[in-house]
Amino acid sequence: MLDVKLDAEQIKRFTLLNVNNRLGHDVRDKVMPVWTEMGEATGMCEKLLTSTTSGVRSSEKEERQEKFGRNYVEPPPLTPFWRFCLDALEDPTLQFLIVAAIVSLLVGSIFEAKCLGYLDGIAILVAVWVVVFVGAAQEAGKQVQFRSLTDSASDELVNVVRDGVQTRISNRDVVVGDCVVLSTGDILCADGIIFERNTLKIFEGSLTGESHAIIKGNYEFKEKGHFPVPTDLDLQQMNTPGATPEERAAKYEPTPERTPIVFKGTEVQDGEGRMIVIGVGTNTYENTLLGDKDDDDDDESSGRSIMQRKLDDMTILITKVGAVFGIGIIIILFIRFGILFSEKACCKEEWDHTVHHMQWIKFFIIGITIFVVAVPEGLPLAVTIALAFSVTKMMSDMNMVKTSSACETMGSATTICSDKTGTLTTSMMTVMRTWIAGEQMEPKEVAGKVSEKLREKMMAAMTINTSDKTDIVAKTMKKMVDGKDVEEVVRLEGKVMEAYSGNATECAMIKLVNVLGEFKGEAGDADMPYKRFRKEFPETQPGRSGISFSSKRKRMSTLVPMPEGSEAPWMLFTKGASEMVMTLCTKYMNADGQVVDIDDTLRKNVEDSITAFADLGLRTISIAYKALQESPANSDGALPDEVEADLILIAVVGIEDPLREEVPGAIRVCRQAGITVRMVTGDNLATAKAISRKAGILSEDGERTGSEIAMTGEQFRSRVLTAQDSEHPEKCINQDEFDQIWPKLRVLARSTPTDKLVLVTGIQKSRIQVGGFNRQVVAVTGDGTNDAPALKQADVGFAMYINGTQVAQQAADIVILDDNFQSIVAAVKWGRCVYDNICKFLQFQLTVNITAIVVACVGSAVLTQSPLTAIQMLWVNLIMDSFASLALATEDPTRSLLFRKPYPRDRGVLSQTMIKNMVLHAAWQLVILGGLIFMVGDICIPSTDASPQVCTPRALSKFVGFYGSQPFNVPTGRPLGFDLAVTAASGACPMAFDLEDKNTWKRVKGVVVPNRHPEYCKSHKGGEESATQHYTIVFNVFVFLQVFNEVNARKIHNELNMFQGIMYNNMFLIVLFGTIIVQILLVQIPGLNTAFGCTDLDVYQWLVCIGLGFTSIPINFLIHFLPYEWISLGSWAGGLDEAAIDEVLETTEEADKTDVEMTAQPQPTMVHVRNPDGTEAS
């Protein structure tokens, strides 16, 4: 039985303690006591029954896996298509539509039993099927796309020591206690400790946010007096309440020189060594960052988004209104029936079950028909199309959307919490400014301002005095091909992306050599200028020697023999911290390449330049050389320190991880759009503030007035958390204190991985009003594994693709394919566009709904049947739903979307402008349709034996149109019974048959024939009528009113010009003109028009129909100038109260807990490392 003395939870707590306390004074106070209690490295090895020489026994593998877990997290299988379909059917709106479709099918097919009576039900089912199929196909496609984007084989071989013998095993078989042999370039497969002598430097930026590599080994602190103490402002950030600045300065220590803890997913940037594994699989710190969430599919959660919940409520409201109208009509019809029966009206003289039972059934059918007409089955389709369209189009804007609702949510984003390294910056140290020959200049200016001699000397000094392991290479990424990892070169806009290999500061130097050499090729090319010096002066060159970097010396030097004809037989090149190297320089090279003494004026010039560079947040390095006639090396090849004297200064360079070019402009756009950008970084406060000023996150006015502040993670935690060092700090937020800080907070430096999570959670929970919003919508950007918790907690999480880890990508809602901050702004624009597009469709559909319901109600109550047939309504619904969704939900975003503030989450989907447009346009359409229904159509009394047919013209029958035509001079299409009752003409209603009353019958060939045919009451009192030009005109005008109002619906913010941008939306134009063409065919083609209850129209009637439909355009201009501020919006406008929003978010959050998929090892992120050249690691 394996008798280990440590368990996984103890180790996890110790690991978390190391991450949360990185500064030297915190390590001494909080970490070292626990480390000592555990017996330090030797004690841990003893408790885990292992060592670096013998490792663990192979026979213990199963026991250790049982106790500490396997070093593998099984990826879930892809979700099957049918599962996505079932998930889509969980939409309550779709469930209701299915019920409505079944009712409509039963009524149309069985009870009404008329030709094509089932079409309404089928139309609704088709709409549901389209929504389910499109939504499921979209989700399945995203799943496959993301899996192929991030999938890589995680089963790789690693070197371990077992049973005292070094062997290679699968990383999945690594267990706690294993001794893993590490070398440059390795990605750590587990958490561990490194304590024996080694040369390892581990880059941990993907986990901790630190921008430099850490030397590994037993805890080793920097000596007092050998590191700079921060300013008073920075010292105030220390969690030492009541301490004086002097006491804080005495206590302060920067990050230790060495630390023993290493983490899964980090990269060995340099050196070799051995690691004892202390955490595997789900017990690694990487997994802890994800909140120990259960693995599940990487599809989006089943929770409803805020917009979907609003539309659900809107659907329920519309349905209720439709039900009220339907029930109301049934009641009205029954009351009307009773009144007519009591008055012995025509066909109501006595009860006839063959007639009146069917009339009662028809009353219910009419009510159900009105209810079905009111059902907004197009809403889910519009949302599905809008999201599917935006998701597809956003790929061209370098946004790969994993969670569709994230598109809509970005329209409401008020805050973006962004990582610095790799997100705001390039993650590649670069020389930004130079001092050379007495002048400050940009690197690209140097070649044109100095002599060839000086330029060559500078290139040689920067190349020779760097390690050959430092290199600029082509950026590559692993991709899965036939089950194997394949390295592919990354290209952006056709150009190979460059990456650093080795020390990032030295990479910045050789990158400047390429600039000085005016290199125009691609990264990794063999003819890069610095490689010329590498070939001429290799590290194996005889006589070559050097003095390595140390934190005390803060410089390094390299001695090389020079070829014949050089300035001197030997040359010493030195680089390091500017203040250290400058004290060793007595001369400098001027622009002509001549060596000149440094006088007081020049020394002040250099010092002022160094200060200016530091004020810009640049790390300064001086480069110098010394010509020697003979080698000063000792007999053992070592150089004495005394040789670094009387140096000749070549240049001073200022380096930093520079901002991406697009960042300042993108952040200006965010400010303009009402979005606040906050930076969260592991860098020190001074560097963080310098970068944030350049980016525009911290403004000069804001800093001066105190409305924008920066602070360290230590002070932030001490103020806002009720419990320090908690495993779940986001649950320990003092919200009142937090609300005092976050509105002003712009920069959070020296932050731990969980600080961003605390910041995001606290902002989301805050209910104070900031920027006009009492509820914030938070977006988070990040590229490291340490960003995963905040990415999941955020309303929308953005992960970088090129420099991002897979864990971050899996935790995010959107993956930025080009690592460009401008792409995030594009996502904001798309989010607002999606919201607008859905609102455009809603405005259009509700306008049609109002008109259709009123027409159906009036037609049923007054005419006893709707002026529009079932198949005509089907066509109108097709225009209203499917075609309008394509036309209005596929508008591209415009820059003007960023000139408005974000949409508040509690705002209704219907605005005052939209309601004004809907009501007034519907009113205008009803005026036109009412006039056509009741004021057009000559009433003709059927001919009898006693009298010929007589026609009574209506009010508009004599209207003279184009070229003297009379388009409205047509017979009525209304039910004959209604018209006869209206005219009240003689013989309008033949008297009921009574044998004793000779006025009710006549004798024909000796046979008594009733004046009222037995089928009269069935055929003339509400029966089906044949197709007429009258109702064809009504149908035609109704369609054209919707077609032209579709143009108006493109604008929902009271814009005057509804045609703006219309020519850029090809889909809208196709739908618009396609609808018109199909409408012409439906009316004019024989056979087809019969099926649609139409008859052909002449050209003048067509012109009138189009003209009446076009009136929607000028009416829209008039509506624009009418006030709308008086319209009062309530919950009926689609808004959600605080409780409802909280409910939606809590549901989504619970669903998201099963959303994270951890498949393969995280990819390394290329960022700068701790300098071996004399500059501060922090």
| Catalytic machinery residues | 419
The β-bridge partners of 721 are 733
Count other Cβ atoms within 10 Å, centred on residue 86. Answer: 11
Decide if 890 contacts 385 (C-beta within 8 A): yes
**Packing angle of the helix pair 1029-1048, 1099-1110 (nearest 10 deg):** 40
> CA 523, CA 731: separation in Å to the nearest integer?
47
Q: How remote is the C-alpha of 389 from its chain's centroid?
A: 14
* Cα-based distances in Å from 180 to 280, 519, 1150: 13, 41, 38
> CA 718, CA 439: separation in Å to the nearest integer?
46
> CA 440, CA 433: separation in Å to the nearest integer?
7
Which H/E stretch holds residue 515? helix 504-516
Strands (E), 771-846: 778-782, 796-800, 814-816
The β-bridge partners of 167 are 160
* Cα-based distances in Å from 734 to 709, 718, 773, 794: 19, 10, 21, 19
- Which 3 state secondary structure label does DSSP give 571? strand
Q: Are strands 555-561 and 570-577 parallel, antiparallel or unpaired?
A: antiparallel
**CA nearest neighbour of 276 among 53, 64, 60, 67:** 53
**CA nearest neighbour of 1029 among 969, 1069, 962, 958:** 969
Q: Are strands 267-270 and 778-782 parallel, antiparallel or unpaired?
A: unpaired
Decide if 220 contacts 294 (C-beta within 8 A): no
The β-bridge partners of 213 are 203
Decide if 834 contacts 811 (C-beta within 8 A): no
* Cα-based distances in Å from 541 to 403, 545, 558, 631: 57, 9, 12, 14
Rg (CA), the chain: 40
Q: How remote is the C-alpha of 1154 from its chain's centroid?
A: 19
> CA 693, CA 710: separation in Å to the nearest integer?
11
Please classify residue 117 by burial: count the beta carbons closer than 10 Å to its beta carbon, then call 0-12 exposed, 13-18 middle and 19+ buried: buried
> CA 679, CA 682: separation in Å to the nearest integer?
10
> CA 551, CA 846: separation in Å to the nearest integer?
72
Decide if 301 contacts 1152 (C-beta within 8 A): yes
Place of tokens 């036309």: 887
The β-bridge partners of 574 are 557, 624
Please report the DSSP string for 696-752 in residue order: TSS-HHHHHHTSSEEEEHHHHHHHHBSSTT-S-GGGSB-HHHHHHHTTTEEEEES--
> CA 642, CA 106: separation in Å to the nearest integer?
101
Decide if 655 contacts 613 (C-beta within 8 A): no
> CA 963, CA 770: separation in Å to the nearest integer?
65
Residue 1155, token pair as written in the block: 């959303």
> CA 124, CA 319: separation in Å to the nearest integer?
14
Please classify residue 996 by burial: count the beta carbons closer than 10 Å to its beta carbon, then call 0-12 exposed, 13-18 middle and 19+ buried: exposed
Count other Cβ atoms within 10 Å, centred on residue 67. Answer: 16
